[in-house]
Structure 1
Amino acid sequence: MADLPRLIRMHASDNVAVVANNGGLAGGTEVDGLTLVDDVPQAHKVALTDLKAGEPVLRYGVVIGHADRPLPAGAWVNETNLTMPAPPVLSELIVPSAPPPATSPLEGYTFQGFRNRDGSVGTRNILAITNTVQCVSGVVGHAVERIRREMLPRFANVDNVVALDHTYGCGVAIDAPGAAVPIRTLHNIARNPNFAGSTMIVSLGCEKLQPTRLFPELFQSPDGSGLDRGRASSLVTLQDESHVGFEAMITSILYSAEVHLTALNNRTREACPVSDLVVGMQCGGSDALSGVTANPALGIAADLIVRAGGTVIFSEVTEVRDGIDRLVARAATADVAKDLIREMAWYDEYLAAGRSDRSANTTPGNKKGGLSNIVEKAMGSISKSGSMPISGVIPAGERASRKGLLFAATPASDFICGTLQLAAGMNVHVFTTGRGTPYSLSEVPVVKLVTRTDLARRWYDLVDVDTGRIISENRTLESMGIEIFETILAVASGQKTKAECLGISNQLALFNPGPVT
């Protein structure tokens, strides 16, 4: 069945469909009553009817472009013969006046997590060491390697030690309005549930981003009179006069690490409700099957998590901008709708200041995978948000303050988006890809979903779930969504992802809209 020529049409009104077959279909192939005019690669679009120049091209029931020339039925439709439509006008969006209908709760599901004193729950038990400035990164990196090699084997309940490395902290306009974003991002990453509130701090000493500015609550004495050295015991300052030579710096870091590891090692997993999950969702290296398999299946899993009382975070401003009317209609309140519109407007202005717009989002790989433009990409991207009401919006660098389905206002860059979702408090990350990317994070487990079975076979040791089976094995979206949901619970309970088994991860990448001096 899978080898027969097959097209996938997403909506009854669509006048294009995508090729499902591995390797694509050759010109002259007969499929669904059409004879293909061109060779069409997998995931690329085929005109289902004759299209006139200027005629709207519909996929997902949405105008994703206009034909820039006559295209006969069976023709290959791609970015070279489409013009992109304008985005929805923000001032014309209709803010919902009534709350969305209530959904039935999902009960009885738990995972094994590490409960923290602040009420949050970690899915991993990790010692994190954060920098106040990039100058100390080499020293911290050296210390982390020694901690892993010499100390970690003695602490069986501690999963890892990670350096929260970044390129911020000095050489910046620290008081500029935009500087608030990276500062609060670093502050909130250090508070991630997977670190149990035990993050160590390594400072140089002369940087603009002083520890007291980054973590004021850790250094203020109870009476407010000044620095509380007892509470600041997690801080190592390399310029301290006690550090005579490199080895003295490393010894200080290792001494502090011993104290933290001992405390972390006393923690054990316990049964926690799904309401303690904070699942970040992201896509990268997308193709035109992302909106057919991986993203809508993940959307079903997202619905299950929200119904069970958990939190789901979706993001990527430029990848939802063209579907913002759909998202505003799902806002739980008028205030949430206004918050969505506000974040879209801010980013429109941000891009315009850089003489760019949302069209810069799509990559050569996206287009090779059948995504003609950002409009088509956006329609597939938002499907991973599922169907639940959107209960809140998280500004860049902020931490989630409520449960349910949340939109985090982040760039679409995989690395910046993941970093900001860490700051928002996610304790599990789910990443979908069609072209393939080894992206992962060391701070949280990253469940990798792929859109195509061919990619799953080739990247067998990097992929956690093959959602391409929706096509290759005729699996339903519902069954695949349940499988993803169950995989998330298993990973949250300690099951290692493929990336964790390989020990691969990406560096953090801060979003810094402020000026650099």
Structure 2
Amino acid sequence: MNALSAAPLRPLSIKLHPRDNVAIVVNSGGLPAGTTLDEGIELVEHVPQGHKVALADVPAGGAVVRYGEVIGYAVKALPRGSWITEFLVELPSPPELEKLPLATNVPPPLPALEGYTFEGYRNPDGSVGTRNILGISTSVHCVAGVVDHVVRIIKERLLPNYPNVDGVVGLNHLYGCGVAITAPAAAVPIRTLQNLAHNPNFGGEILVVGLGCEKLTPERLMPELSADAARENILTLQDERFSGFQAMVDGILEMADARLKVLNARRRETCPASELVVGLQCGGSDAFSGVTANPAVGYAADLIVRAGGTVMFSEVTEVRDAVHLLTPRAATEEVGRALIREMAWYDAYLASGQTDRSANPSPGNKKGGLSNVVEKALGSIVKSGTAPISAVLAPGERATTRGLVFAATPASDFICGTQQLASGMTLQVFTTGRGTPYGLAAAPVVKVATRSDLANRWHDLMDLNAGRVATGEATLEEVGWELFRLILDVASGRKKPWSDVWGLHNALAVFNPAPVT
């Protein structure tokens, strides 16, 4: 990275790697034609903030290099000082999965980080939550309206009696019936819903509301329950004992009240940072994501791993084009093969829908300076830090290994968040350059802005400003430590992220790659 100054009028640009032949413009509003950069390069046209400028003449067909990697090929000759737009970069072929090195450059274990704790909720199964929430699972979308109705009543009438309970969440979704329940890919939504109910933030108190005629029966949703336990934990609206809607509502409220009593008796206790399970995600990414926020998150991820905790990164399509940088970091060849397995599965999934990875990025990503999914992926994976990859999870699987874990999910913010919750995530860190009010009701979401412009404009939506790295006001290490301490405070309930302050929570979006009938 070039030496930078916070002076507002000085032209600022960032070149990330010695091999790069492009840099991105830092200045708010971009830089006009005729501006001279530190490298002595004069801009031949206006270049918007976050967008790339050619540092050398690039011939037609020549490689465009950022992060020290080829992000594409010039569709025509690009003179030094020109603005390199998305239309001028041809998407390269993805890494060939069968030729990837496995566990050939496993990083040594990071030095242990001891003495860091948070105030969490210990669960009967040994997991630790960051919240004490009543979760009401549903076996089919048909009951969602009823559950929403009951949740409102619980919040108004019951929760005031249970001050130690943080809230109540209806785990509504679009699955459960009208689906090919025995299709091989149906394993994804089914295990997702099974594991969602066991997220540590729900304290092990199981309450399931079903309809009674759905394909995903409540008993299948909770296969571990005995017949007696099922009678105590499952309620179906078609049960003949209910005469009218109010009887159904009263039945759910009675079951909820019993569980609220149990949850209310719980208290936060001091837990080592090794009990953290933190999910990482990008959303509304821009060209600064891989420069400021994501590297700072990667530094904080290393701190969590050093403390013995669990960090999961995800988003297959935003890993696929940088997977060649990850398989060498796999702790074992088996882990490396699992990573390839998830990449190949998703390649086939996209092909079955007659599309490919070029459907990513979004228009906003491109407006923020990202030319294609290769550039986006290279900036995305730096969230993973430098630790060995200890495990790979298929979509909806629960994490059982500590350390750095790849949890395979789509790149969709809503689906990724839902799938990470199923994998056991109890707090999420979400980086954004374009801005989003995204949040989750079941787990706190700490949002990190990639740019100071965004952090200042959305001052009551962004929890941390990593844009200071681009202007030289802070180092990656400083922001990484700041984020780590913020994670401990939020996990302890000492601080609320803005999404929780305002109650901005997105609906769950279970990944269903199986046919709908």
Corresponding position of 1:9: 15
Assess if the C-alpha contact under 8 Å between 1:19 and 1:43 holds in 2: yes
Q: Report matched runs for 1:206-217 at 5 Å.
A: 206-217=213-224
Unmatched 5+ stretches in structure 2: 1-5
Q: Report matched runs for 1:367-516 at 5 Å.
A: 367-494=366-493, 495-516=495-516
Question: CA 1:473/1:7 → structure 2, altered by over 3 Å: closer, same or farther?
Answer: closer
What is the CA-CA distance between 1:496 and the residue it aligns to?
A: 1.1
Assess if the C-alpha contact under 8 Å between 1:182 and 1:512 holds in 2: yes
Corresponding position of 1:357: 356
Matched, 1:69 2:76: yes
Q: Report matched runs for 1:275-290 at 5 Å.
A: 275-290=274-289
What is the CA-CA distance between 1:231 and the residue it aligns to?
A: 4.9
Share of identical aligned residues, percent? 61
Amino acid in the other structure paired with 2:37: V
Amino acid in the other structure paired with 1:23: G
Show CA shifts across 1:432-455 (max 9, x none): 000011111000000011101111
Q: Report matched runs for 1:157-168 at 5 Å.
A: 157-168=164-175
The 10-residue stretch of structure 1 (462-471 or 293-302) with the greater mean CA deviation from structure 2: 462-471
Separation (CA, whole Å) in 2 of partners of 1:301 and 1:210: 41
What is the CA-CA distance between 1:2 and the residue it aligns to?
A: 3.4
Assess if the C-alpha contact under 8 Å between 2:105 and 2:328 holds in 1: no
What is the CA-CA distance between 1:232 and the residue it aligns to?
A: 3.2
Amino acid in the other structure paired with 1:214: L
Assess if the C-alpha contact under 8 Å between 1:2 and 1:473 holds in 2: no
What is the CA-CA distance between 1:51 and the residue it aligns to?
A: 1.1
What is the CA-CA distance between 1:369 and the residue it aligns to?
A: 0.3
Corresponding position of 1:170: 177
Separation (CA, whole Å) in 2 of partners of 1:451 and 1:184: 34
Separation (CA, whole Å) in 1 of partners of 2:392 and 2:231: 33
| SS of structure 1 residue aligned to 2:195 | helix
Corresponding position of 1:88: 95
Amino acid in the other structure paired with 2:51: H
1:196 to 189, 203, 216: 203
Separation (CA, whole Å) in 2 of partners of 1:215 and 1:23: 54
Separation (CA, whole Å) in 1 of partners of 2:188 and 2:374: 28
Assess if the C-alpha contact under 8 Å between 1:2 and 1:471 holds in 2: no
- Normalising to structure 1: TM-score of the pair? 0.97
What is the CA-CA distance between 1:155 and the residue it aligns to?
A: 0.7
Aligned-residue RMSD, C-alpha = 1.0
Q: Report matched runs for 1:257-272 at 5 Å.
A: 257-272=256-271
Separation (CA, whole Å) in 2 of partners of 1:318 and 1:156: 42
- Normalising to structure 2: TM-score of the pair? 0.97
| SS of structure 2 residue aligned to 1:318 | helix
Separation (CA, whole Å) in 2 of partners of 1:21 and 1:97: 40
Amino acid in the other structure paired with 1:25: L
Amino acid in the other structure paired with 2:317: T
Matched, 1:21 2:27: yes
Show CA shifts across 1:469-508 (max 9, x none): 1124520000000000000000000021111010110001
| SS of structure 1 residue aligned to 2:326 | helix
2:55 to 43, 48, 65: 48
Show CA shifts across 1:161-211 (max 9, x none): 010010110000111111111010000000000001113110101111111
Separation (CA, whole Å) in 2 of partners of 1:250 and 1:476: 54
Amino acid in the other structure paired with 2:92: P
Corresponding position of 1:142: 149
Separation (CA, whole Å) in 1 of partners of 2:188 and 2:491: 29
Amino acid in the other structure paired with 1:413: S
Runs (4+) off by over 3 Å: 97-100
Corresponding position of 2:112: 105
Separation (CA, whole Å) in 1 of partners of 2:447 and 2:28: 20
What is the CA-CA distance between 1:96 and the residue it aligns to?
A: 2.5
Corresponding position of 2:65: 58
Separation (CA, whole Å) in 2 of partners of 1:52 and 1:122: 55
Assess if the C-alpha contact under 8 Å between 2:104 and 2:329 holds in 1: no
| SS of structure 1 residue aligned to 2:248 | helix
Assess if the C-alpha contact under 8 Å between 1:98 and 1:333 holds in 2: no
What is the CA-CA distance between 1:463 and the residue it aligns to?
A: 0.8
What is the CA-CA distance between 1:98 and the residue it aligns to?
A: 7.1
| SS of structure 2 residue aligned to 1:236 | strand
Separation (CA, whole Å) in 2 of partners of 1:404 and 1:120: 15
What is the CA-CA distance between 1:513 and the residue it aligns to?
A: 1.0
Corresponding position of 1:223: none
How many aligned residue pairs are there? 509
Amino acid in the other structure paired with 2:445: V
What is the CA-CA distance between 1:75 and the residue it aligns to?
A: 0.2
Amino acid in the other structure paired with 1:503: G
Separation (CA, whole Å) in 2 of partners of 1:216 and 1:88: 40
Assess if the C-alpha contact under 8 Å between 1:12 and 1:61 holds in 2: yes
Separation (CA, whole Å) in 2 of partners of 1:34 and 1:176: 58
Amino acid in the other structure paired with 2:499: A
Separation (CA, whole Å) in 1 of partners of 2:471 and 2:153: 46
Corresponding position of 2:190: 183
Separation (CA, whole Å) in 2 of partners of 1:296 and 1:100: 17
Separation (CA, whole Å) in 2 of partners of 1:99 and 1:471: 30
What is the CA-CA distance between 1:34 and the residue it aligns to?
A: 1.2
| SS of structure 1 residue aligned to 2:152 | helix
Q: Report matched runs for 1:316-331 at 5 Å.
A: 316-331=315-330
Amino acid in the other structure paired with 1:506: N
Assess if the C-alpha contact under 8 Å between 2:105 and 2:329 holds in 1: no
Separation (CA, whole Å) in 2 of partners of 1:183 and 1:391: 25
Separation (CA, whole Å) in 2 of partners of 1:395 and 1:11: 33
